[in-house]
Amino acid sequence: MSVVSSVCCYCGTGCGVLIETDAGKITGVRGDPAHPANRGKLCTKGVALALSAQASGRALYPELRTDKAASRQRVGWDAALDHVADTFRSVIDAHGPDAVAFYISGQLTTEAYYVFNKLAKGLIGTNNIDTNSRLCMSSAVAGYKATLGADAPPGCYDDIDHAGTIFIAGSNTAYAHPILFRRIEAARQANPDLKLIVVDPRRTDTAAEADLHLALLPGTDVALYHAMLNVMLWEELIDRDAIAAHTEGWAALRELARDYTPEKAASICGVAAADIVQAARWFAAGPTLSLYCQGLNQSSCGVDKNAALINLHLASGQIGKPGAAPLSLTGQPNAMGGREVGGLANLLSAHRDLDNPAHRAEVARLWGVDDVPATPGKTAVEMFEAVRRGEIRAIWIACTNPAQSMPNLAQVHEALQTAECVVLQEAFAGTETAPFADVLLPASSWGETDGTMTNSERCISRVHAAVPPPGEARADWAIAADFARRLQPEQGARLFAYASAEAVFDEHRETTRGRDLDITGLSYALLDQAPQQWPFPEGAASGQPRLYTDGRYPTASGRAQFHAAPYRPVAEAIDARYPLHLNTGRLRDQWHAMSRTGRVARLFAHADTPALSMSARDLELRRLHAGDLVRVKSRRGEVVVVVEASESVRPGQCFLPMHWGARFMGGRGINALTLPAFDAVSKQPELKHAAVQVAKAELPWRMAALATGDGAQLLDAVQPLLRACDYAAAGLAGRDQDVLTLRLAHTGAPPDALLAALDAALGLDDPLAVMHYQDSLRGISKRVRVDGGRVTAARLTGEIAAFGWLRDAIVEGSDAASLRAWMLAPVARPPAGGMARGRVVCNCLNVAEPDIVAAIAAGADLGALQATLKCGTECGSCLPELKRLLAGNRAAA
């Protein structure tokens, strides 16, 4: 067995991991105790990385079709890349370089990002290259640039330990960045005076931990921050010396803030004026560290939200010292690295601006090309709109899944169907985007790639390949470089003569010389010793953990710029037809489009199906009950999901997790509802909010199915039924084996051929191995398969009461003999009595909610729960929920 160091592939915390391998396979993962980002800790997703690496469903060989009506066929790499090169060349020759585009990903290494950026802008001559980081981080980028002068987060994770106030805005950090939240918990335990303020429309697990929760109405952040500044002005809590010495634009912002009294903001934001005053006082007292994410970024006025929060730091002197900084939390492992190399349609390498002629000339010289195009490229939403209109005819998608993650999926799917050529460079064969691909290029994935990644605190880590990629998969940077050499043989061979990822890094490093992110002092050898923060110029002994400690900023004047922008509401207002605010967000154990986490059965144990959270009052008004199927409609599309009552949302609001796409549910997925309106500056879409209506879905035909086997293959098998039914929810369960879970509902039974194909796929078509019950008059049909004394598959049609306990029996491998008399009966409880096992709260140790609640009822506190059930003693991701269960059950008692 060998051990290789790398970095987790999920959120932008950048946790270090040690990968254990044996015989060329990843066998285990543990946190790297030497890595400064996580100090050995991992969240539930990180702990399960080895399981995702072992799962099937990988893209293994190049595939190609020349007719969109045909299926792709396996081909060799030469045939695939030559075809793509010929296609792109003919499109460029006929329609110009802007008729092609690249849509890439914050999952790529910095080296792959760099090669793609150089390929598009340097070789082809188009700025049509954008990234899914546009969907999560571009407003943070523009907010930093508008106020501090550069896309450079000024703080670091150590500021958590020095802060007097931590201000979390628009982030359920306990779910989205759990390892950082563990550090916040430790800091509060070490310093009981540390104040935690959380700004979020929902009472999330993060908000439940706060000393002050500002449950503002969606999209009203700017009014809130202006009102806090108003309080600071009236109570003389501003730092006038710092404002005078280090900022510009104060007079305009001061005049604007005077109009936003706490009372006025209270009526806009839906929070108490006294709470706004308290938040302002704690913020100004400091040292204050702000942590923020999609609630600020995914907005049609996201730049204003980011800048208004940074205004508070500048006005109160809460920047450039220990514990005081605005620190945006990146949503992907290398969103920061992509920004460093200019991997966006409006950027160039090393934080250079596309609209600056001098910057374009510098990059052209560094790359050895005549020039870099000046016309801004299409950003994510604009790019797919241009594909739909036929302006962009060929699009290359790498390491991302726009058919699930983009807003307004109906138009995105139309665009992908319209394109003359869709190239998909992907590690996973079953994503929602894969069916649209004319060419599939298999890419290496986590644990198989060399390179670097940069996390939220500007810390660069080495990523090592622990095992070779499966099949014929290749590294992303190598695929792009090989294509470049085929597209323009002479120029491509000169510009892309890279023998290794390190050669790409060395070239990228030179482009940073003299820039704000200068890393000329770094090398792979140095990064192999320890991660390093930038800037790290040649000759430096270490990186710089905090920026702007001297009060000088990378602006023309050397001063920070206050950003005076009035509050603007959400892009889509609620009305009589669409009366509910829909908020989207993250689950604890799933990540983004679930192409990786959706292949690990145990990661479904905490939340196994898409569910709409609504207040009890809104359910009552619509005569709905928890567990009902509801149709959620926006102006763009609809989904059918289960509804649940939740105290986390206010009346008039509802919540859906953003992860679920067409691979796991009926319809196009959650983003069928969201709108493509975007911020005018950052071009980041307002994915967090849409106006919707909710009504009961009358779907009398019901079916549920279960089966053991290969999870990816089982999910592939049920895709036709997901597309055929109004309601469909497919997932996995189990720990030692994969168990497919499938729930369907429709106005009537789907075609018999689909049900017969399902029975065949699940092994339920063998009459010698299957127990069968049929009641045609009532439309009831049930089949249960038993192998080796254990239930291995079941299908319940027309009546599905036994689904829950049958699932538990299959997952736990219960003896079928004691269940045989009950398996076809309409009973909702396990035959031995008691309740179904219920939702798993602690995924690490497989501890379910009913067991926790029973222990609390018997008098257990948190320490007792950890001592007896062991929950919360491993990764700690469940600790906020354990505390919430303790508080809720005590209040009920």
Average pLDDT over residues 145-168: 98
pLDDT digits (tens, 9 = 90+) for 716-753: 999 999 999 999 999 999 999 999 999 999 999 999 99
> What is the predicted pLDDT for the residue at 694?
98
pLDDT band at 768 (very low <50, low <70, confident <90, very high): confident
Give the burial class of 790: count Cβ atoms within 10 A of its Cβ; 0-12 exposed, 13-18 middle, 19 or more buried: middle
CA distance 441 to 104: 14
| Mean local confidence (pLDDT), 378-392 | 98
Cβ-proximal residues to 687 (8 Å cutoff; 6+ apart), any chain = 135, 294, 298, 407, 584, 658, 671, 674
d(CA 332, CA 176): 10
Residue 306 · residue 142 · CB < 8 Å: yes
| Residues ≥6 apart with Cβ < 8 Å to 104 | 112, 113, 116, 129, 130, 131, 132, 338, 343, 397, 398, 399, 400
pLDDT at 827: 87
pLDDT band at 822 (very low <50, low <70, confident <90, very high): confident
Residue 830 confidence class, pLDDT cut points 50, 70, 90: confident
Structure token digits, residue 585? 């967000």
Distance CA 98, CA 417 (A): 19
Q: Mean pLDDT lowest for which of 45-49, 398-402, 557-561, 764-768?
A: 764-768
Residue 893 scores a pLDDT above 60: no
Q: How far apart are CA 412 and CA 415, in angstroms?
A: 5
In 710-779, DSSP assigns E strands to 727-733, 738-746, 770-775
Q: In this model, does residue 832 exceed pLDDT 90?
A: no
As a whole number, the mean pLDDT across the chain is 96
Per-residue confidence at 1, pLDDT binned at 50, 70, 90? confident
Residue 434 pLDDT level (bands cut at 50, 70, 90): very high
For residues 656-678, average pLDDT: 98
End-to-end CA distance of the chain: 52
Q: What is the pLDDT of residue 488?
A: 98
- The pLDDT of residue 747 is 97
Q: Determine contact, residues 475/444, Cβ cutoff 8 Å.
A: yes
pLDDT digits (tens, 9 = 90+) for 386-401: 999 999 999 999 999 9
464-484 average pLDDT score: 98
Going by pLDDT thresholds of 50, 70 and 90, the confidence category of residue 833 is low
- The string of pLDDT tens digits covering residues 91-141 is 999 999 999 999 999 999 999 999 999 999 999 999 999 999 999 999 999
The pLDDT of residue 838 is above 90 = no
User: At 837, is the pLDDT very low, low, confident or very high (cuts 50, 70, 90)?
Assistant: confident
Could you tell me the two tokens for 206? 């993060």
Mean pLDDT of 462-470: 98
Q: Residue 163 in 3-state DSSP?
A: coil
Strand ranges, E, within 14-135? 16-22, 25-31, 63-64, 73-74, 100-104, 129-131
Q: Read off the pLDDT of residues 612-652 as tens digits, 9 standing for 90 and up.
A: 999 999 999 999 999 999 999 999 999 999 999 999 999 99
Per-residue pLDDT tens digits for 292-334: 999 999 999 999 999 999 999 999 999 999 999 999 999 999 9
- DSSP per position, 876-893: -TTHHHHHHHHHHHHHH-
Q: In the structure, how many helices (H) and strands (E) does the chain have?
A: 33, 36
- Provide the CA 45 distance to its chain's centre, in angstroms: 12
Q: What are phi and psi of 387, to 5 degrees?
A: -65, -45
> Can you name the residues that pair with 745 across neighbouring β-strands?
702, 727
Whole-prediction pTM: 0.97
* pLDDT tens-digit series, residues 241-256: 999 999 999 999 999 9
- Give residue for tokens 């200068």: 518
Report the pLDDT value the prediction gives residue 891, as an integer from 0 to 100. 62
User: For residue range 847-892, what is the model confidence (pLDDT) as tens digits?
Assistant: 999 999 999 999 999 999 999 999 999 999 999 999 999 988 766 5
Could you tell me where the DSSP H helices lie in 524-648? 524-529, 616-621
Tens digits of residue pLDDT in 561-619: 999 999 999 999 999 999 999 999 999 999 999 999 999 999 999 999 999 999 999 99
pLDDT of residue 513: 98
Query: What confidence category does residue 817 fall into, taking pLDDT thresholds of 50, 70 and 90?
Result: confident
CA distance 19 to 2: 8
The strand pairing partners of 31, in sequence order, are 17
Determine the Cα–Cα distance for residues 278 and 566; give it in Å rounded to an integer: 22
Q: Which helix (H) or strand (E) holds 693?
A: strand 689-696
Report, as an integer, the average pLDDT of 354-377: 97
Give the confidence band of 269 by pLDDT, cuts at 50, 70, 90: very high
